[in-house]
A = this chain, B = another copy of it.
Amino acid sequence: MSEKKMHTVIFQPAGSRGSVEDGTSVLDASRLLGVDIESICGEKRTCGKCKVRVENGFFEKFGVESSLDHVSVWRPVEAKFFTEERRAEGYRLACVAKVHGDLVVFVPEEARAGGQVVRKAVTDRKINVNPSVKTYYIEMIPPTLHDPLGDYERVCDALKAQHGLDAPILDYRVLLGMPDTLRQAGWKVSVSVWTGGPVPEIVRIAPGTIERSIGLAVDVGTTSVAAYLCDLTTGEVINYDSMMNPQVPYGEDVMSRITYAMSNDDGIHKLQAAIIDGVNTLAARVCEAVGFTHEDILELAIVFNTAMHHCFLGIYPEHLGLAPYAPALHHSINIKARDLGLKFAPGANVFVLPNEAGFVGADNVGVLIAEEPYNKDDRQLIIDIGTNGELIMGNREKLISASCATGPAFEGAQIHFGMRAAPGAIEKIYINPETKEPRFRVIGKEEWSDEMDPETIGAKGICGSGIIDGVAELFKAGIIDKTGKFVKGLDTPRVRKGEQGDEFVLAWANETSVGRDVTVTIKDVRAVQLAKGAMYAGAKIMMNKLGYETLDRVVLAGAFGSFIDREESLTIGMFPDVPVLKAYAVGNAAGDGARMALLDSTKRAEADEWARKVEYVELSVEPTFEREFMYAMHLPHMRDSFPHLKALLAEEALGDLIKG
């Protein structure tokens, strides 16, 4: 019957302070107090990212006595993430340590989530503007005792007389405000009619004339959410912005979120509430910055992978997470924004793009309708690298798709010094094959590392594009061989034995802001090999299915694709050999697809058509997958010849690196 004891917890350096129940994990406490701590594995105690330091002593400033004795006892699982020295300093995993007394907790810089660089900018695509919401200005004669016609019928008569429109149906929420709006506006209003449903529907009645009607296109990624505010008349992107997916604290990847939903009461509702709140926040932000309000949004078009689709809609994702991975629905669906808790115009609808199959969701359909491979002759591979890798291959004759579990290596997770693409992340690397000395560039700095005073570089870790560069450069410099192993007996202090085995020092401690050498380890190289191997093997199986010997083109979609170096990624064998100029990035094509669906209603039928026509290949049941995967682990590949890459490397006098 006794009530739970409460303890004061203070997080430093943020200074966030609050009371939590006895027994709360430090990670949960951080969420309660709004402190973002990295957590990639979904509290499985495997990623080791949520490192924190429990401070010791009396903190006069807070009036709090903090001590290692105020958290639950050390657990063996923590040993692999901390040296004895670190342990003695008070380091713990936030997901393991439970609060049993007042605490001051220090969150080291590398464990702080957030501050990612926005990489989902707008791509310039030609979009036919034919939106499903159009706004009509009408003027009416007010009712009299001799003409007491109802408000709705009066609006319909005016729409017919002044615009030739047949009576649209009326959304319930619009009805509620209509009598007041009509009278306050002196019977001169702008009526927004949505034609995305089976019959036209009035979704807003606003006083007077409306300068600009707006809609929103949103791309919900596993890690980040991007929103594009569009003018529904001109098609122009008025504003755009992005944010971290607020579901990240519940698990960094799709499977850990599904696990969270399945293993926590109300888990799915928490996940849904987080992303709905996030979209509301983002919508308000993009609107307010340019003089609109979220209630001006007349329609939302949205894409995501299938798991995020289910979490956004609040569909319990258990069945999607288990074989045979059947989604609740493939088809696009229109849902009232209010049914989802989205705060848009009174009658606003949400157009949810269709899913393909398995985890290949509406975002990949967005890529499809943006790139339109079904209208092209070139045999192309489209790679959308997000937290998962999604592949489309084919041309106007046939299209197939697949999803490969690349893991989060390309997003900087599972990498010893991995981090998101945030300031301080090493994003570009070059290693001199002679001296084995690297030079690099960090996000937020203009100059290369060798052009700066070491103390001002401030490297913190390595982001996804950086790690591809790192592995490619280690390979080209002869530091690792094509199996990924470190070459023995090199004369450089940068290659050494570390905690994880062989490692290469990319930045010395004095060049960093974390006070330690930033290294690429043998485990990092393996993680990249696994990720790129999975992707390559998937592509190879797809080529076999289609009877392709070679590809004409590789399109890198997704924000990440825009930042990787195509030559370096070809060097590690991320995808089959093509002329390097035929491999190019198209930016956030998924987001572009959402924008096109918003602005051009004919694209919606196209989305539903192609979501079904694309033939989905379940790679995990392909008998050759294991073998292809093994071959593809090599740099760039164990068996395939890479004529274009070979020619390229020859120009750098590195032609003998690869065979064939």
Interface residues of A (CB under 8 A from B): 143-154, 169-170, 172-173, 175-176, 178-180, 183, 197-199, 313-316, 318-320, 323-331, 333, 335-336, 338-339, 355, 357-358, 616, 618, 621
Contact = CB atoms under 8 A, between A and B. Distances in A.
A151 B335 contact: no
A562 to B, nearest CB: 31
A157 to B, nearest CB: 12
Contacts of A178: 328
B172 A326 contact: no
Contacts of A616: 148
Contacts of A146: 324, 621
Contacts of A339: 172-173, 338
A306 to B, nearest CB: 9
A328 B150 contact: yes
Contacts of A338: 339
Contacts of A199: 198
A625 to B, nearest CB: 13
A314 B172 CA distance: 10
B143 A324 contact: yes
A329 B170 contact: yes
* This protein's copies in its complex: 2
A175 B327 contact: no
Which residue of A323, A331, A621 has the most chain B CB atoms within 10 A of its CB atom?
A331
A355 B149 CA distance: 11
Contact of A335 (B148, B172, B319, B355): B172
A149 B328 CA distance: 9
B148 A179 contact: no
Contacts of A175: 313, 315, 328-329, 333
Given A150-B328, A180-B319, 4 more contacts: A147-B324, A150-B355, A154-B326, A172-B313
A618 B146 CA distance: 9
Given A198-B198, A316-B179, A331-B153, A324 B144 contact: yes
A151 B328 contact: yes
A618 B333 CA distance: 46
24 contacts: A143-B324, A144-B324, A145-B324, A145-B621, A146-B621, A148-B326, A148-B357, A148-B358, A149-B330, A150-B326, A152-B330, A169-B198, A170-B329, A175-B315, A175-B328, A175-B329, A176-B314, A179-B316, A179-B318, A179-B319, A179-B328, A180-B316, A180-B319, A198-B198
